[in-house]
Amino acid sequence: MTVLMRKMGPFETSAVGLGCMGLSIEGKPDEATGIETIHQALDAGCRQLDTAWSYYESGGPEQTNERLVRTALDSWKGPRSEVLVATKVGHYRDFTDGRPTWAVDGRPESLIRHAKESAQALGVDTIDLLYFHRPDPKVPYQESLEAIRSLVEEGVARTAGISNADIAQIDMARSILGDDLVAVQNQFSPTFTSSFEELRHVADLGLAFVCWSPLGGFRKAKDEARYDPFRQVAGRLGVSYQQVVLAWELAQDEHVFVIPGAHRPGTILDSLQAGDLQIDREDMERLGR
Ligand SMILES: NC(=O)c1ccc[n+]([C@@H]2O[C@H](COP(=O)([O-])OP(=O)(O)OC[C@H]3O[C@@H](n4cnc5c(N)ncnc54)[C@H](OP(=O)(O)O)[C@@H]3O)[C@@H](O)[C@H]2O)c1
């Protein structure tokens, strides 16, 4: 298998990354399986790991996913310097009505503190790519972005990204972060295409568009029938429908990346093959948007 590589700012990294969230939040596998999943992904050529300060179980110890990524990288025998590790600040886990939820905190002082804790948990002086995870309605977006800029200026992060951002926010981030902004990570999948305008805008700016929950999320696809045409193409090509979904996303533009989640090695090993899969024009039309 040849792994498709694409340019993201100063990095050359795999177009299919590993979304590490599921390895440390509710429903996570045991730690050994988590590490094995990351190792096998890296061995197969994956060069992008996506984590966040907030990827831990509600009520449990914080930053467990960043620590898992570090443990996996420390014990991996391959070329560590080739691996782009992206993390995010701006979210934390909370309980609302006794249910685990995701809360936002975009205050500059929180972002700065959390980013430094992320670097520490990852065991690096400089984070490769630091995303601002989600706009905080209680904090002017500009103020959160200025905190991210100060983190790049200080050397805590090499490059910056934003996540869950609309077009106006993307433009504001461009004006505040300039060329240090290299990626926008938004939800995009066959069951979530409303971010296509943002995908186009980001690609036209020459930035990376990273699709989160590219397979519709690990709990349950909201609209299973939407995946039927992907199953049909997959049946004809003799591959999993998930590979077809990921290849369809990568075919939207050369600036697109996908970070499918996995709870075990088998799924990410299959997903990595999507970079190799060519979907012809008729099938792209059949799959629609
Ligand atoms: N920026 C944000 O706000 C944000 C929000 C959510 C997620 N994310 C990022 O996006 C990443 C992925 O999202 P996600 O995990 O929610 O959803 P996802 O990638 O859409 O779906 C993951 C699910 O798909 C299954 N799967 C993956 N590849 C497969 C394959 N080739 N064949 C069959 N099944 C396959 C996995 O199965 P198994 O469980 O069997 O392995 C898992 O249950 C997260 O890890 C995180 O890094 C970012």
* Pocket flag, ligand 1, residue 249 (CB < 6 Å): no
Cβ-Cβ contacts under 8 Å for 238 (sequence gap 6 or more): none
- pLDDT, residue 95, reads 83
Out of 3.40.228.10, 3.20.20.100, 3.40.220.10, 1.50.10.100, the CATH code matching 5-287 is: 3.20.20.100
Ligand 1 centre distance from Cα of residue 79 (Å):
25
Report the chain's terminal Cα–Cα distance, integer Å: 28
Ligand 1 centre distance from Cα of residue 60 (Å):
21
- pLDDT, residue 289, reads 81
* Pocket flag, ligand 1, residue 263 (CB < 6 Å): yes
* Pocket flag, ligand 1, residue 253 (CB < 6 Å): no
Q: Sort strands 48-50 and 18-19 into parallel, antiparallel or unpaired.
A: parallel
- pLDDT, residue 219, reads 62
Listed by start position, the domains of the chain span 5-287
- pLDDT, averaged in runs of 10, over the chain (289 residues): 94 98 97 98 98 96 98 98 98 88 96 98 98 98 98 98 98 98 98 96 98 87 83 96 98 98 98 96 92
